[in-house]
Structure 1
């Protein structure tokens, strides 16, 4: 059975977490990634604000992890994750606005991706241990300031281009119990689909990604790994609404609203 875990804020400002079912949330006590139990009456979804479903200590992104995009760009097939870090401070939840840094007027790209959420501490894991450490799956929009990334020919600025405040939308939930091989990622701008690709086209599958990353860094509960994007990532224009949909998880919608 698939569970959909969310974090939320009530109208009174209290924050909590629980499981989403239809148009209501069952609140839980304890820890999402530890011992927890349902407690209290269901809350109407319409009466709360959904937050990013996790606040990661580490937010890892992958580049060149889909066969179709690698073939289109003429990239070699990697044997290990080609990864970068996004600042945990870039994370926002559903409905929050994506805003480029002050003074930045260059291209800002959306990149719809499948996100892995870690559920237990993992270090030096084999693939079986790594797979067991994946708590669930979420939608990620790996927003990128393209002109910052390529501004200095001697130093591609991956972290700086991907870490501004609001450049890490995650949500709307963490789905526990889905098979990633059956999923597709779709991204629509103002309702027009621009990305639509199968997660089964990944070069490095989730368990291998987590295993290999865990040899280089310890991953903690709540950490997020964005599995990379495929064809169709393009710049956004001011006023656009960007919706990342993964059936079985839901739709993560954020407006692009430069100040």
Structure 2
């Protein structure tokens, strides 16, 4: 059974979390990643604002993790995750605007990705433990300031290029009960599909990603790992609407508003 977990804000400014089904939000109390119980009557989806479904301690992204893109770019196939950190403060939710840093006029890329949400503390794990530690899946737009990344030929600035405020859209929910192998990531700009690739093309699958990263970084409930992107990541133009969609999870829609 697939369950969609969300975070939300009411018109009165109260924030909470719960599940979404049939355009109705069931509020919960407790801990999304621990003991959570229903609390109060259901709310119409139209009466709340969806927030980023998680506020992670670690927000990790992968590079070169899809066979098709590696073949196109001539990259070697990695045996371990090639990962970087995005600042947790970069995270925004559905409907919020992506805004480049003040004074930056270079290329800003969208990168639609499958996100793994960790549900329990995990360190130095084997793959079976890592698989059990994945709470659910979400959509991620790993926005990148390309001209910052490549500005200094002696030092690629991964964290700086990927961590500006608003460069980490996540959502609209965390879906549990899905098989990642059956999913596809689609990204549309103003309704025109620009990325469309299968998650099954991953070089390192989710359980292996989590296991290997956990041997270097202790992962905590709510941490997010973006599994990397495939072909079709391009710059956005001002005023564009970018939508990252994964069937079973939903569509993460944000505008690009320099």
TM-score by length of 1: 0.99
**Corresponding residue for residue 205 of structure 1:** 205
Unaligned 5+ runs, structure 1? none
Aligned partners of 1:223 and 1:256: how far apart in 2? 25
The alignment's C-alpha RMSD in Å is 0.3
Give yes or no for the alignment of 1:237 onto 2:237: yes
**Corresponding residue for residue 148 of structure 1:** 148
Note the 1:221-236 alignment, pairs <5 A: 221-236=221-236
**Corresponding residue for residue 96 of structure 1:** 96
Aligned partners of 2:39 and 2:91: how far apart in 1? 28
Aligned partners of 1:178 and 1:23: how far apart in 2? 20
Aligned partners of 1:23 and 1:181: how far apart in 2? 27
**Corresponding residue for residue 28 of structure 1:** 28
> Shift of residue 54 of structure 1?
0.1
Aligned partners of 1:36 and 1:114: how far apart in 2? 25
Secondary structure, counterpart of 1:83 in structure 2? strand
Note the 1:96-115 alignment, pairs <5 A: 96-115=96-115
Aligned partners of 1:90 and 1:65: how far apart in 2? 22
Give yes or no for the alignment of 1:119 onto 2:126: no
**Deviation digits for residues 166-217 of structure 1, max 9, x if unmatched?**
0000000000110000000000000000000000000000000000000000
**Corresponding residue for residue 83 of structure 2:** 83
**Corresponding residue for residue 139 of structure 2:** 139
Aligned partners of 2:83 and 2:227: how far apart in 1? 9
> Shift of residue 39 of structure 1?
1.3
Aligned partners of 2:224 and 2:71: how far apart in 1? 27
Aligned partners of 1:89 and 1:36: how far apart in 2? 26
**Corresponding residue for residue 167 of structure 1:** 167
Aligned partners of 1:57 and 1:244: how far apart in 2? 23
Secondary structure, counterpart of 2:72 in structure 1? helix
Secondary structure, counterpart of 1:89 in structure 2? helix
**Deviation digits for residues 40-74 of structure 1, max 9, x if unmatched?**
10000001000000000000000000000000000
> Shift of residue 138 of structure 1?
0.0
**Corresponding residue for residue 184 of structure 2:** 184
Aligned partners of 2:22 and 2:205: how far apart in 1? 30
**Corresponding residue for residue 43 of structure 1:** 43
Moved over 2 A (4+): none
> Shift of residue 96 of structure 1?
0.3
> Shift of residue 22 of structure 1?
1.2
**Deviation digits for residues 95-123 of structure 1, max 9, x if unmatched?**
00000000000000000000000000000
Secondary structure, counterpart of 1:207 in structure 2? helix
**Deviation digits for residues 8-42 of structure 1, max 9, x if unmatched?**
00000000000000111000010101101011100
Secondary structure, counterpart of 1:185 in structure 2? strand
Aligned partners of 1:151 and 1:255: how far apart in 2? 25
Unaligned 5+ runs, structure 2? none
